[in-house]
Amino acid sequence: MKLMRVGQAGNEKPALLDADGKIRDLSGHVADIGGEVITPAGLAKIAAIDPKSLPELEPGRRIGACVAGTGKFICIGLNYSDHAAETGATVPPEPIIFMKATSAIVGPNDDVIIPRGSEKTDWEVELGVVIGKTAKYVTEAEALDYVAGYCVSNDVSERAFQTERSGQWTKGKSCDTFGPIGPWLVTKDEIPEPQNLGMWLTVNGQKMQNGSSKTMVYGVAFLVSYLSQFMSLHPGDVISTGTPPGVGMGLKPPRYLKAGDVVELGIEGLGTQKQTFVADR
């Protein structure tokens, strides 16, 4: 299933995309896409609904973030061997974990605001993993049982805030609008092999990233298991799993985003995003 949320920010309706590409209203059956609704039992109830029995929503509505009520937005750094190489970094012996504030979450096609004082706002197409069942101390073999599905994530980053102003990476990752996710939460039954998905990103129509999740150092199952050793993961939590090469920081010379730039990105089977970058007022 491809689950989504449509409508104005703060007033989104739960919906699904049917096999014909029509958006169907789920609000008569569930309150939102998140929490208990994306547990195995909750997803089974939605799967039992005939999509044609659901009201069709008119196209052109704003698409919101694909999951509501996210408690944790966890990101993994330097998780692609080819990306680590382009930035001159070494692959870490264990995953690098940092947090992106949930207040950064926006819809996949919303404007992204370049924060005041930004010098180096950058792009990163990433595979997002949405947790569907509380996970604590789970093994790698059982880890995917705790995943509800997958989504496109743009881990927008301000590199000067991230790496040149001391402290942790979080402040370069958490600016308002720096977390577009969606357009869909694609349930895991539609993505049987998350470690072989093509990924791409363009800036003003120029291809910048063209990679695959197969070059991840630490795969989805490992990451879910690993993170669960340190914290409980809950339904609606999002893990953004790292980016392939082609980020602005890794170019020679580096290239960063300015107001008016348009970024488009997508992952095989998970849909596409399009954002216009605008200056903060």
* Annotated domain spans of the chain: 2-53, 73-279
pLDDT confidence of residue 165: 85
pLDDT confidence of residue 21: 96
- H or E, element range at 207: strand 206-212
pTM of the predicted model as reported, rounded to 2 decimal places: 0.96
Residues sharing a CB contact under 8 Å with residue 160, sequence separation 6 or more, in sequence order:
118, 119, 120, 172
Q: What is the pLDDT along the chain (281 residues), one digit of tens a residue?
A: 999 999 999 999 999 999 999 999 999 999 999 999 999 999 999 999 999 999 999 989 999 999 999 999 999 998 987 777 777 777 889 999 999 999 999 999 999 999 999 999 999 999 999 999 999 999 999 999 999 999 999 999 999 998 888 878 889 999 999 999 999 999 999 999 999 999 999 999 999 999 999 999 999 999 999 999 999 999 999 999 999 999 999 999 999 999 999 999 999 999 999 999 999 98
Cβ atoms of 128 and 148 within 8 Å: the answer is no
Residues sharing a CB contact under 8 Å with residue 118, sequence separation 6 or more, in sequence order:
158, 160, 161, 175
pLDDT confidence of residue 163: 80
**CB half-sphere exposure, 273, CA atoms < 13 A:** 39
DSSP 155: -
Is the peptide bond between 253 and the residue preceding it cis, with omega within 30 degrees of 0?
yes
d(Cα 90, Cα 39) in Å, to the nearest integer? 37
Assign domain 73-279 to its CATH architecture: Alpha-Beta Complex (3.90)
d(Cα 91, Cα 73) in Å, to the nearest integer? 22
